[in-house]
A = this chain, B = another copy of it.
Protein backbone atom coordinates (compact mmCIF):
# COMPACT_ATOMS: atom_id res chain seq x y z
CA UNK A 1 0.00 0.00 0.00
CA UNK A 2 1.72 3.25 -1.08
CA UNK A 3 2.11 5.71 1.80
CA UNK A 4 0.65 9.03 0.66
CA UNK A 5 2.91 12.06 0.69
CA UNK A 6 1.89 15.61 1.31
CA UNK A 7 4.18 17.62 -0.99
CA UNK A 8 2.66 21.06 -1.23
CA UNK A 9 0.23 23.25 0.70
CA UNK A 10 -1.23 26.66 -0.03
CA UNK A 11 -3.35 29.20 1.79
CA UNK A 12 -5.28 32.20 0.56
CA UNK A 13 -5.49 35.37 2.57
CA UNK A 14 -7.46 34.52 5.73
CA UNK A 15 -9.78 37.20 7.04
CA UNK A 16 -12.63 39.34 5.86
CA UNK A 17 -12.09 39.93 2.19
CA UNK A 18 -13.88 41.20 -0.89
CA UNK A 19 -12.98 38.09 -2.87
CA UNK A 20 -15.55 35.39 -3.69
CA UNK A 21 -14.82 31.79 -2.74
CA UNK A 22 -13.52 30.79 -6.14
CA UNK A 23 -10.90 33.54 -6.11
CA UNK A 24 -9.79 32.59 -2.61
CA UNK A 25 -9.41 29.04 -3.92
CA UNK A 26 -7.37 30.22 -6.90
CA UNK A 27 -5.02 32.13 -4.59
CA UNK A 28 -4.47 29.07 -2.40
CA UNK A 29 -3.94 26.89 -5.47
CA UNK A 30 -1.39 29.29 -6.93
CA UNK A 31 0.50 29.34 -3.63
CA UNK A 32 0.57 25.54 -3.51
CA UNK A 33 1.73 25.10 -7.10
CA UNK A 34 4.43 27.76 -7.21
CA UNK A 35 7.23 26.34 -9.36
CA UNK A 36 5.35 23.14 -10.16
CA UNK A 37 3.79 22.18 -13.49
CA UNK A 38 0.18 23.25 -14.11
CA UNK A 39 -2.35 21.38 -11.90
CA UNK A 40 -3.99 19.90 -15.02
CA UNK A 41 -0.74 18.04 -15.76
CA UNK A 42 -0.60 16.49 -12.30
CA UNK A 43 -3.96 16.20 -10.56
CA UNK A 44 -6.17 13.09 -10.98
CA UNK A 45 -9.01 13.94 -8.59
CA UNK A 46 -10.22 16.76 -6.34
CA UNK A 47 -12.10 16.79 -3.04
CA UNK A 48 -13.37 20.01 -1.56
CA UNK A 49 -14.44 20.66 2.00
CA UNK A 50 -17.20 23.25 2.17
CA UNK A 51 -19.51 23.68 5.12
CA UNK A 52 -22.43 25.60 3.74
CA UNK A 53 -23.91 26.40 0.35
CA UNK A 54 -25.81 29.21 2.04
CA UNK A 55 -22.96 31.74 2.21
CA UNK A 56 -22.73 32.10 -1.56
CA UNK A 57 -25.87 30.16 -2.56
CA UNK A 58 -23.67 27.75 -4.50
CA UNK A 59 -23.67 23.97 -4.45
CA UNK A 60 -21.31 21.72 -6.48
CA UNK A 61 -18.34 23.75 -5.29
CA UNK A 62 -16.06 20.74 -5.80
CA UNK A 63 -16.91 20.84 -9.48
CA UNK A 64 -16.69 24.61 -9.58
CA UNK A 65 -13.19 24.70 -8.10
CA UNK A 66 -12.04 21.95 -10.48
CA UNK A 67 -13.32 24.03 -13.37
CA UNK A 68 -11.58 27.11 -11.95
CA UNK A 69 -8.33 25.13 -11.78
CA UNK A 70 -8.66 23.95 -15.37
CA UNK A 71 -9.35 20.40 -14.23
CA UNK A 72 -12.20 18.79 -16.16
CA UNK A 73 -12.91 15.13 -16.86
CA UNK A 74 -11.67 14.04 -13.43
CA UNK A 75 -13.70 13.15 -10.34
CA UNK A 76 -14.31 16.36 -8.37
CA UNK A 77 -16.75 16.59 -5.52
CA UNK A 78 -17.67 18.38 -2.35
CA UNK A 79 -17.59 16.52 0.94
CA UNK A 80 -19.42 17.92 3.93
CA UNK A 81 -19.21 17.16 7.61
CA UNK A 82 -19.63 20.72 8.90
CA UNK A 83 -16.28 22.12 10.14
CA UNK A 84 -14.58 18.74 9.64
CA UNK A 85 -15.19 18.92 5.88
CA UNK A 86 -11.59 19.93 5.11
CA UNK A 87 -10.08 16.95 6.89
CA UNK A 88 -12.65 14.65 5.27
CA UNK A 89 -11.42 15.94 1.90
CA UNK A 90 -7.84 15.27 2.99
CA UNK A 91 -8.85 11.80 4.07
CA UNK A 92 -10.33 10.98 0.65
CA UNK A 93 -7.11 12.10 -1.00
CA UNK A 94 -5.15 9.85 1.34
CA UNK A 95 -7.46 6.89 0.74
CA UNK A 96 -7.33 7.26 -3.05
CA UNK A 97 -3.52 7.27 -3.05
CA UNK A 98 -3.37 4.34 -0.63
CA UNK A 99 -5.76 2.34 -2.81
CA UNK A 100 -3.84 3.18 -5.97
CA UNK A 101 -6.99 4.71 -7.48
CA UNK A 102 -5.20 7.99 -8.08
CA UNK A 103 -1.57 9.16 -7.90
CA UNK A 104 -2.13 12.85 -7.25
CA UNK A 105 -5.16 14.25 -5.47
CA UNK A 106 -6.00 17.78 -4.49
CA UNK A 107 -7.52 18.10 -1.03
CA UNK A 108 -8.93 21.55 -0.56
CA UNK A 109 -11.39 23.61 1.36
CA UNK A 110 -13.07 26.94 0.88
CA UNK A 111 -15.53 29.07 2.80
CA UNK A 112 -16.74 32.56 2.04
CA UNK A 113 -18.34 33.16 5.41
CA UNK A 114 -18.85 36.92 5.21
CA UNK A 115 -20.91 36.82 2.00
CA UNK A 116 -24.19 37.07 3.90
CA UNK A 117 -23.05 39.26 6.78
CA UNK A 118 -23.19 38.32 10.45
CA UNK A 119 -26.79 37.14 10.24
CA UNK A 120 -26.01 34.98 7.23
CA UNK A 121 -23.10 33.38 9.05
CA UNK A 122 -25.13 32.76 12.21
CA UNK A 123 -27.91 31.13 10.20
CA UNK A 124 -25.56 28.97 8.14
CA UNK A 125 -23.80 27.80 11.30
CA UNK A 126 -27.13 27.01 12.96
CA UNK A 127 -27.79 24.43 10.23
CA UNK A 128 -25.22 22.29 12.06
CA UNK A 129 -27.57 21.71 14.99
CA UNK A 130 -30.26 19.06 14.97
CA UNK A 131 -33.26 20.45 13.14
CA UNK A 132 -35.79 18.45 15.13
CA UNK A 133 -34.18 18.57 18.56
CA UNK A 134 -32.06 21.71 18.82
CA UNK A 135 -32.66 24.39 16.20
CA UNK A 136 -36.16 25.11 17.48
CA UNK A 137 -34.60 26.23 20.77
CA UNK A 138 -32.72 29.00 19.00
CA UNK A 139 -29.30 27.63 19.85
CA UNK A 140 -26.17 29.15 18.35
CA UNK A 141 -22.62 27.81 18.13
CA UNK A 142 -21.39 29.79 21.17
CA UNK A 143 -24.41 28.78 23.24
CA UNK A 144 -23.83 25.10 22.45
CA UNK A 145 -20.14 25.26 23.34
CA UNK A 146 -21.02 27.21 26.47
CA UNK A 147 -22.80 24.08 27.71
CA UNK A 148 -19.54 22.16 27.35
CA UNK A 149 -17.57 24.91 29.07
CA UNK A 150 -20.01 25.20 31.98
CA UNK A 151 -19.80 21.48 32.56
CA UNK A 152 -16.01 21.49 32.26
CA UNK A 153 -15.69 24.27 34.83
CA UNK A 154 -18.10 22.39 37.09
CA UNK A 155 -16.30 19.05 36.92
CA UNK A 156 -12.74 20.25 37.27
CA UNK A 157 -10.60 22.69 39.22
CA UNK A 158 -10.47 25.08 36.30
CA UNK A 159 -11.28 28.79 36.04
CA UNK A 160 -12.41 31.06 33.24
CA UNK A 161 -8.94 32.59 33.41
CA UNK A 162 -7.46 29.17 32.63
CA UNK A 163 -9.57 29.04 29.46
CA UNK A 164 -8.59 32.61 28.62
CA UNK A 165 -4.90 31.61 28.69
CA UNK A 166 -5.56 29.29 25.73
CA UNK A 167 -6.66 32.28 23.67
CA UNK A 168 -3.65 34.27 24.89
CA UNK A 169 -1.30 31.46 23.82
CA UNK A 170 -2.95 31.12 20.41
CA UNK A 171 -2.79 34.87 19.77
CA UNK A 172 0.91 34.77 20.70
CA UNK A 173 1.41 32.02 18.13
CA UNK A 174 -0.67 33.89 15.55
CA UNK A 175 1.55 36.93 16.04
CA UNK A 176 4.39 34.84 14.62
CA UNK A 177 2.38 33.47 11.68
CA UNK A 178 2.28 35.60 8.52
CA UNK A 179 -0.78 33.60 7.38
CA UNK A 180 -2.80 34.34 10.52
CA UNK A 181 -5.96 36.44 10.47
CA UNK A 182 -4.98 38.01 13.83
CA UNK A 183 -1.26 38.73 14.28
CA UNK A 184 -1.64 40.61 17.52
CA UNK A 185 -0.84 39.46 21.06
CA UNK A 186 -3.46 39.76 23.77
CA UNK A 187 -3.45 39.17 27.55
CA UNK A 188 -5.81 37.50 29.99
CA UNK A 189 -7.54 40.79 30.71
CA UNK A 190 -8.30 41.21 27.01
CA UNK A 191 -10.26 37.98 27.15
CA UNK A 192 -11.86 38.46 30.56
CA UNK A 193 -13.01 41.98 29.76
CA UNK A 194 -14.35 41.12 26.31
CA UNK A 195 -18.14 41.05 25.86
CA UNK A 196 -19.92 37.88 26.97
CA UNK A 197 -21.29 35.89 24.04
CA UNK A 198 -22.76 32.91 25.92
CA UNK A 199 -21.44 32.59 29.45
CA UNK A 200 -18.75 31.52 30.19
CA UNK A 201 -17.71 32.08 26.55
CA UNK A 202 -16.60 35.64 25.92
CA UNK A 203 -15.74 37.20 22.57
CA UNK A 204 -12.07 36.25 22.83
CA UNK A 205 -12.93 32.65 23.67
CA UNK A 206 -14.49 32.31 20.21
CA UNK A 207 -12.82 31.71 16.84
CA UNK A 208 -13.70 34.40 14.29
CA UNK A 209 -15.83 34.30 11.14
CA UNK A 210 -13.22 33.95 8.39
CA UNK A 211 -13.11 33.90 4.59
CA UNK A 212 -10.43 31.67 3.18
CA UNK A 213 -9.25 28.69 1.21
CA UNK A 214 -6.57 26.05 1.63
CA UNK A 215 -5.10 23.47 -0.72
CA UNK A 216 -2.97 20.38 -0.10
CA UNK A 217 -1.47 18.14 -2.76
CA UNK A 218 -1.36 14.46 -1.76
CA UNK A 219 0.56 12.12 -4.05
CA UNK A 220 2.11 8.67 -4.29
CA UNK A 221 5.79 8.27 -3.32
CA UNK A 222 6.78 8.04 -7.01
CA UNK A 223 5.02 11.25 -7.94
CA UNK A 224 6.39 12.92 -4.81
CA UNK A 225 9.95 12.20 -5.87
CA UNK A 226 9.22 13.63 -9.33
CA UNK A 227 7.90 16.87 -7.91
CA UNK A 228 9.91 17.90 -4.84
CA UNK A 229 13.06 16.92 -2.89
CA UNK A 230 12.66 14.29 -0.18
CA UNK A 231 13.03 16.85 2.61
CA UNK A 232 9.91 18.63 1.37
CA UNK A 233 7.77 15.50 1.60
CA UNK A 234 5.59 14.66 4.59
CA UNK A 235 4.15 11.15 4.93
CA UNK A 236 0.53 10.66 5.91
CA UNK A 237 0.92 7.68 8.20
CA UNK A 238 -2.51 7.66 9.83
CA UNK A 239 -6.00 8.77 8.80
CA UNK A 240 -9.30 8.12 10.52
CA UNK A 241 -12.81 9.54 10.72
CA UNK A 242 -15.69 8.95 13.09
CA UNK A 243 -19.23 10.18 13.49
CA UNK A 244 -21.18 10.56 16.70
CA UNK A 245 -24.57 11.95 17.70
CA UNK A 246 -25.24 15.47 16.43
CA UNK A 247 -27.35 16.62 19.33
CA UNK A 248 -25.42 17.61 22.41
CA UNK A 249 -27.99 16.18 24.80
CA UNK A 250 -26.92 12.56 24.47
CA UNK A 251 -23.16 12.96 24.67
CA UNK A 252 -20.38 13.14 27.23
CA UNK A 253 -19.94 16.91 27.39
CA UNK A 254 -16.33 16.88 28.57
CA UNK A 255 -14.82 14.01 26.63
CA UNK A 256 -14.76 14.02 22.84
CA UNK A 257 -15.30 10.35 22.18
CA UNK A 258 -15.08 10.67 18.40
CA UNK A 259 -11.73 12.43 18.66
CA UNK A 260 -10.49 9.76 21.02
CA UNK A 261 -11.49 7.00 18.61
CA UNK A 262 -10.13 8.77 15.52
CA UNK A 263 -6.81 9.70 17.12
CA UNK A 264 -6.31 6.20 18.50
CA UNK A 265 -6.92 4.76 15.03
CA UNK A 266 -4.51 7.24 13.46
CA UNK A 267 -1.83 6.42 16.08
CA UNK A 268 -2.38 2.72 15.48
CA UNK A 269 -2.05 3.02 11.71
CA UNK A 270 1.17 4.95 12.15
CA UNK A 271 2.53 2.68 14.86
CA UNK A 272 2.95 5.48 17.41
CA UNK A 273 1.35 6.65 20.64
CA UNK A 274 0.27 10.12 21.71
CA UNK A 275 3.68 10.76 23.27
CA UNK A 276 5.31 10.62 19.82
CA UNK A 277 3.52 13.77 18.69
CA UNK A 278 5.65 16.93 18.59
CA UNK A 279 3.12 19.39 17.17
CA UNK A 280 -0.64 19.21 16.92
CA UNK A 281 -3.29 21.36 15.35
CA UNK A 282 -6.52 20.74 17.22
CA UNK A 283 -9.92 22.28 16.65
CA UNK A 284 -10.11 25.28 19.02
CA UNK A 285 -13.38 26.72 17.68
CA UNK A 286 -13.78 27.84 21.29
CA UNK A 287 -11.06 27.85 23.96
CA UNK A 288 -12.68 25.03 25.90
CA UNK A 289 -12.50 22.84 22.82
CA UNK A 290 -8.67 22.90 22.77
CA UNK A 291 -8.60 21.73 26.39
CA UNK A 292 -11.15 18.97 25.78
CA UNK A 293 -9.31 17.71 22.71
CA UNK A 294 -5.91 17.73 24.42
CA UNK A 295 -7.45 15.38 26.98
CA UNK A 296 -9.44 13.27 24.52
CA UNK A 297 -6.53 12.44 22.21
CA UNK A 298 -4.18 11.44 25.02
CA UNK A 299 -1.98 14.51 25.48
CA UNK A 300 -3.25 15.56 28.90
CA UNK A 301 -4.88 14.03 31.99
CA UNK A 302 -8.61 14.71 32.45
CA UNK A 303 -9.19 18.19 33.75
CA UNK A 304 -5.68 19.43 32.92
CA UNK A 305 -6.14 20.14 29.19
CA UNK A 306 -6.14 23.88 29.95
CA UNK A 307 -2.40 23.59 30.56
CA UNK A 308 -2.01 23.53 26.77
CA UNK A 309 -1.27 27.22 27.35
CA UNK A 310 1.87 26.42 29.36
CA UNK A 311 5.21 25.47 27.81
CA UNK A 312 5.73 21.66 27.76
CA UNK A 313 8.18 21.67 30.71
CA UNK A 314 5.77 23.48 33.04
CA UNK A 315 2.75 21.18 32.83
CA UNK A 316 1.32 18.64 35.28
CA UNK A 317 2.47 15.06 35.32
CA UNK A 318 0.82 12.97 32.63
CA UNK A 319 1.10 15.61 29.95
CA UNK A 320 3.15 14.94 26.81
CA UNK A 321 5.60 17.51 25.39
CA UNK A 322 3.40 18.39 22.43
CA UNK A 323 3.09 21.98 21.16
CA UNK A 324 -0.52 22.78 20.31
CA UNK A 325 -1.83 25.10 17.62
CA UNK A 326 1.47 26.72 16.70
CA UNK A 327 -0.39 28.32 13.77
CA UNK A 328 -2.47 30.35 16.19
CA UNK A 329 -5.26 27.81 15.86
CA UNK A 330 -8.77 28.57 14.76
CA UNK A 331 -8.73 31.43 17.27
CA UNK A 332 -5.93 33.49 15.71
CA UNK A 333 -5.06 31.93 12.34
CA UNK A 334 -8.80 32.06 11.58
CA UNK A 335 -11.56 29.52 10.96
CA UNK A 336 -12.77 29.45 7.34
CA UNK A 337 -14.93 26.46 8.22
CA UNK A 338 -14.61 24.04 5.30
CA UNK A 339 -10.97 25.04 4.78
CA UNK A 340 -9.86 24.68 8.39
CA UNK A 341 -8.91 21.00 8.22
CA UNK A 342 -6.66 21.67 5.23
CA UNK A 343 -5.20 24.79 6.87
CA UNK A 344 -4.26 22.58 9.83
CA UNK A 345 -2.36 20.34 7.41
CA UNK A 346 -0.60 23.39 5.99
CA UNK A 347 0.76 24.33 9.42
CA UNK A 348 1.88 20.76 10.10
CA UNK A 349 3.60 20.65 6.71
CA UNK A 350 5.50 23.84 7.50
CA UNK A 351 6.51 22.58 10.94
CA UNK A 352 7.62 19.16 9.72
CA UNK A 353 9.67 20.54 6.82
CA UNK A 354 11.27 23.31 8.86
CA UNK A 355 9.44 26.14 7.11
CA UNK A 356 7.57 27.49 10.14
CA UNK A 357 9.76 30.55 10.62
CA UNK A 358 9.50 32.27 14.02
CA UNK A 359 7.07 29.65 15.29
CA UNK A 360 9.22 26.64 14.33
CA UNK A 361 9.33 23.85 16.91
CA UNK A 362 12.89 22.52 16.85
CA UNK A 363 13.14 19.02 15.44
CA UNK A 364 9.41 18.59 14.91
CA UNK A 365 9.01 15.16 13.36
CA UNK A 366 5.47 13.98 14.06
CA UNK A 367 2.21 15.94 13.87
CA UNK A 368 -1.39 15.20 14.75
CA UNK A 369 -4.33 17.00 13.14
CA UNK A 370 -7.77 16.92 14.75
CA UNK A 371 -10.64 18.55 12.87
CA UNK A 372 -14.16 18.60 14.35
CA UNK A 373 -17.61 19.09 12.84
CA UNK A 374 -20.73 20.17 14.68
CA UNK A 375 -20.45 20.83 18.38
CA UNK A 376 -17.15 18.98 18.88
CA UNK A 377 -17.79 15.26 18.51
CA UNK A 378 -20.48 15.09 15.83
CA UNK A 379 -17.77 14.45 13.22
CA UNK A 380 -14.03 14.00 13.76
CA UNK A 381 -11.28 13.41 11.24
CA UNK A 382 -7.73 12.87 12.49
CA UNK A 383 -4.45 12.58 10.62
CA UNK A 384 -0.98 11.58 11.75
CA UNK A 385 1.83 13.10 9.69
CA UNK A 386 5.50 12.19 9.76
CA UNK A 387 8.16 14.55 8.41
CA UNK A 388 11.73 13.97 7.27
CA UNK A 389 12.87 14.22 10.93
CA UNK A 390 10.15 11.91 12.17
CA UNK A 391 11.66 8.47 11.67
CA UNK A 392 9.41 5.64 12.79
CA UNK A 393 7.76 5.35 16.18
CA UNK A 394 9.81 6.85 19.00
Give A contacts to B, CB under 8 Å.
20, 22, 46, 51-54, 56-60, 62-64, 66-67, 71-82, 88, 95-96, 98-99, 101, 123, 126-128, 130-132, 135, 240-246, 257-258, 261, 373-374, 378-379
Contact = CB atoms under 8 A, between A and B. Distances in A.
Contacts of A51: 59
Contact of A246 (B64, B101, B242, B379): B64
Contacts of A261: 73
Given A57-B131, A58-B127, A99-B101, A81 B77 contact: yes
Contact of A57 (B56, B135, B244, B379): B135
Shortest 3 CB-CB contacts between residues of A and residues of B: A99-B99, A76-B243, A75-B241
Contacts of A96: 95
Contacts of A67: 243-246
Contacts of A58: 127, 130-131
Contact of A63 (B71, B81, B95): B81
A27 to B, nearest CB: 16
A73 B265 CA distance: 11
B82 A127 contact: no
Nearest to A101: B95
Given A63-B378, A82-B59, A374-B63, A77 B132 contact: no
A64 B373 CA distance: 12
Contact of A78 (B79, B101, B242): B79
Nearest to A135: B57
A349 to B, nearest CB: 24
Given A79-B78, A379-B77, A64 B258 contact: no
A335 to B, nearest CB: 16
A80 B60 contact: yes
A126 to B, nearest CB: 7
A243 B64 CA distance: 9
Given A54-B53, A58-B131, A99-B98, A77 B79 contact: yes
A373 B63 contact: yes
B80 A88 contact: no
A95 B99 contact: yes
Given A60-B246, A66-B243, A74-B243, 11 more contacts: A20-B131, A46-B243, A54-B54, A57-B131, A67-B243, A73-B258, A77-B79, A95-B96, A95-B99, A98-B99, A99-B99
A379 B80 CA distance: 17
B131 A73 contact: no
Nearest to A112: B131
Contact of A60 (B75, B82, B135): B82
Contact of A245 (B20, B72, B82): B72
A275 to B, nearest CB: 24
Contact of A64 (B22, B72, B130): B130
A60 B81 contact: yes
A77 B370 CA distance: 16
B243 A57 contact: no
30 contacts: A53-B54, A56-B131, A57-B127, A57-B131, A58-B127, A58-B130, A58-B131, A59-B80, A59-B127, A59-B128, A60-B82, A60-B373, A60-B374, A60-B378, A62-B80, A63-B81, A63-B243, A63-B244, A63-B246, A64-B246, A67-B245, A72-B243, A72-B244, A75-B243, A76-B243, A76-B379, A77-B88, A78-B80, A79-B80, A98-B99
A318 to B, nearest CB: 25
